[in-house]
Structure 1
């Protein structure tokens, strides 16, 4: 169970806590999708690297608060588990080495606490950039988590960087175009209005190396339709979905489908499940690439225009 991989700080009993616990017992199928409270901390219980204490930012600006960088999400825990297992000598060969970051340059988009990027560094990545919206509070908290959980001699290979999806004209974006062989993205798909910008950043930063991949994991808690939308938009941006499947909090897996149960998935059921996707660059001629880019940007402009009308 993914939720067994974390430990929350003990809170003194109160009527509110008792009620919350009772709801959890009565609705045991309604798995919690996020964990922790703003300004608090959470402990990730890693079998591979030991307990990791992660502070959770307490953003005071409402615009930053709606980014939900002040929680740990099940998708991030799952990605950290995949990466940890891939580096474990006792589990060598598990999942065909699919989640191995050894020797890779890694970019985490929407890093929040930085959990997946920190685990990547500990698992043997050559270089790791943990990026999130350029909020001083969010980025300062991520840096604090790096200092807390990464040995000092390894911290030099991690960088915390502000990056707004789709904004690719700053120095960092220009200097790192087509640079990263691994891009991590955990629970960033719930904002369907940002799908074009997110896909644009992925395509911009992904290396042209044959083995370069984007790893995406997201929860169904905001609805399946939003997840379907992202993978369609990523294809327009030139990113092909190489593998995609669904996995629940207990490790059960099933086929990915764009629609399930006649679009009548109940909240408690879908909260258990994550979509796991591995994306790579589409192979296309120069002419096809130009045409695809023109179509993508036209769609992006239309979508942004609709949002402002």
Structure 2
């Protein structure tokens, strides 16, 4: 029960937030937090569990947005079918990129993923007949099936994003408990060690990268109707850097770490009314302080404090039980 407590607490907070902040502006901030939490979770799947840094992860974020919009508006497929098809296409692209990139490691892998992202960005930029290039695509608001209600109504979209966020968290949690999940965690400890116990390292890495790409594509698909317009900049390194900061500050390799990072980098600046210039300065300071004093992130700090509190409680509980036994004897 104690292990489930953080998830139950987060679920209750997510359900109650619209009633606490019953204002479209605040709901939009929280929706942004939800979308970027999903994006950061996707990157954490590679950085935290495989141990490789992808500088091109924004490519899948942007492709998810473009695929969903083009299938929905150009091919006139229903939104939810468009979303599913977009995730399949993004996953296929992720699998291809993973197959070509994951033969490399470390900085070489990071650079080649960045190169792929730039290639995709330039393709979208130059396919002006389909994507309208730098002008971007206007994204219409999806309608909930069998109703006339817009899905992007702040209250409805908030719960829709939260539902998917919780779904992604539980999917990752479940995946890590499977033999495949234990396999990718073994790869993080060392590829040679993983190979020696019968793990097909390349295969596991490609599957993990594909899953990560699909989750990033989901975040992009959710972001598109929310902002109302998509441009090739969605595939730029700027978005990857933001997600990477969320993972590092929040705690890489921790399931809920990216959520802490996403909260710091999406919610706090809006509530403090920071200008973009001030945001960059504050983000830089946060990153430096985090690396200096919390190298394993906020999630690890919470874990350490929680463990220490638990250890402090144990002697008291032992003393209490001993006193009760003495009373019974006397």
TM-score bucket (shorter structure): under 0.3
Structure number having the greater helix percentage? 2
Higher relative contact order (CA 8 A, sep 6+): 2
Higher strand residue share: 1
Give TM-score, length-normalised by structure 2. Answer: 0.22
